Amino acid sequence: MTSPVHVIVVDDEAEIRAVLTAMLEREGYRVTACADGEAFWRVVATDQPDIVLLDLKLPGENGFSIARRLRGQSNAGIIIVSGMGDVVDKVVGLEVGADDFVTKPFDGRELVARIHSVLRRKALAPVATPVEKRIAELAEKLDAVSDQIAEVGAEAHHIEEIVEKSATAKHPKSVGGVTWQPSGEDWRKD
């Protein structure tokens, strides 16, 4: 038998933690409730979540920071559940690593449906091993270096063209049909 999905609820409001815990336990989830980031990280150190329901306004470390840190070390689903519902908050939340964003007040059925949706996507997504993650990082660096080499090659080609033009110049201070006029300290077309 498989163990139930572990959901960590991180919200500083005790009433919301209690409501979410009761609702999710009725759905068959194993729920751990935390009032702040410090409590959350203590739980994560010993019991990895499958899903995290994360408020943004928390005492101490805020939800954006927690989402960013968690995404860097875990493939857990992250759903932000917050009263901060501006488009900017949603975009930043998704960009720092959240999989979804639900604005308070929320409908319990919708939240459960969103949890199911994130779990389905996570089940379909291949999980990268640490070695695969390192290979991907190195591949990105290699691509960047390749781009730099291509730029240097283009610059070298441009310099070669200038040198070739200066070798065929009519005047010792002429390059590519343009002559340096020391008296006026400017260039003129030949």
CB atoms within 10 A of CB 190: 10
- Asked whether residue 175 is assigned to any structural domain, the reply reads yes
- Asked whether residue 51 is assigned to any structural domain, the reply reads yes
Distance CA 150, CA 26 (A): 59
pTM: 0.65
pLDDT of residue 185: 55
Number of compact structural domains in the chain? 2
pLDDT of residue 150: 75
Domain span holding position 14: 6-127
pLDDT of residue 141: 78
pLDDT tens digits, the chain, 190 residues: what are they? Answer: 567 899 999 999 999 999 999 999 999 999 999 999 999 999 999 999 999 999 999 999 999 999 999 999 999 999 999 998 899 999 999 999 999 999 999 999 999 999 999 999 888 655 555 666 677 677 777 777 777 887 777 787 778 777 777 666 555 555 555 555 555 555 555 5
Asked if residue 102 and residue 18 are part of one domain, the reply reads: yes
- Asked whether residue 1 is assigned to any structural domain, the reply reads no
Helix, strand and coil content of the chain, in percent to the nearest 5, comes to 50, 20, 30
